[in-house]
Amino acid sequence: MFHNHTTAFADFNAAITPAPSPAAQTTLSGETLVETLQGWVAARTLRAGDTLATLDGGFVPITAISTPEITSAMVRIPGGALSNCSDVMLPGNVHVGLDLPGHISDAPLVTAPLNALCGWNGIRPTLSGAAELATLHFDTEELIYAQTGLLIHASPAGDTFFERLSYGETCAKIALLQARLGQPDSVAA
């Protein structure tokens, strides 16, 4: 009860260095149009240092571009399905921005895996061959514009600023949006 604690706690002067924030990235097909300072260009023409338009109204530089391993089936988004001006193909594991009504989501904008949107608004997996892909790297998390209105989430591996829905959460919110509860997921079957 009456212990001498003068030596119980050693002086500890460790240098605390914050861990570097994980780089944000997203993968696009080479034909995807993105907005740069020079206008709309195909992703295959991009180089590190080029700047892309983002949701917050600014332009951010691409820090690196790499060629990814194909880890997901390609998904075709028809023009107009997600505010895109024309058809576009993207890997199914890419997250896209969705503006859902208030009765479905409290967040003004959420991101969802593209493969979970298959079957909604004409979005479908494709059977076409492998597309030319490019992974764009950024210093910070971004929502970049593609095909004039489609928002593509360049996110870090960990936590994100935007609410990131899982496959199941996305399917549930889309079902609420369409008021089709209890119907089977024809894409997953």
How confident is the model at residue 130, as a pLDDT?
60
Render pLDDT for 77-108 as a digit per residue (tens, 0 to 9): 999 999 999 999 999 999 999 988 877 878 88
User: Does 150 score more than 90 pLDDT?
Assistant: yes
How confident is the model at residue 176, as a pLDDT?
85
Residues 145-157 have a mean pLDDT of 93
Q: Work out the pLDDT band at 158, boundaries 50, 70, 90.
A: confident
Residue 179's region, left for phi above 0, alpha for psi from -120 to 50, else beta, is left
**d(C-alpha 107, C-alpha 72), whole Å:** 27
Q: Which residue has the higher pLDDT, 69 or 60?
A: 60
Q: Work out the pLDDT band at 8, boundaries 50, 70, 90.
A: low
**d(C-alpha 8, C-alpha 132), whole Å:** 62
Sheet with 133-138, edge to edge strand ranges: 24-29, 133-138, 64-66
Q: Which residues pair with 40 in a beta bridge?
A: 35
Residues 6+ apart with CB under 8 A from 22: 156, 157, 158
Instruction: Provide the mean pLDDT of the chain.
Output: 84
> Any idea which residue has 């001006």 for tokens?
85
User: For residues 110 and 163, is the Cβ–Cβ distance under 8 A?
Assistant: yes
Q: Is 182 helix (H, G, I), strand (E, B) or coil?
A: coil
Render pLDDT for 36-60 as a digit per residue (tens, 0 to 9): 999 999 999 999 999 999 998 799 9
**d(C-alpha 133, C-alpha 28), whole Å:** 6
User: Does 71 score more than 80 pLDDT?
Assistant: no
Cα atoms in the 13 Å half-sphere on the side-chain side of 72: 21
Render pLDDT for 14-37 as a digit per residue (tens, 0 to 9): 444 444 445 899 999 999 999 999
| Tokens (6 digits) for 164 | 């990131």
User: For residues 131 and 74, is the Cβ–Cβ distance under 8 A?
Assistant: yes
The domain 24-96+117-157 is placed in CATH, from the list 2.170.16.10, 3.30.67.10, 3.30.930.10, 3.40.50.300, at: 2.170.16.10
Enumerate the domain spans of the chain.
Answer: 24-96+117-157
For residue 148, give the amino acid letter. T
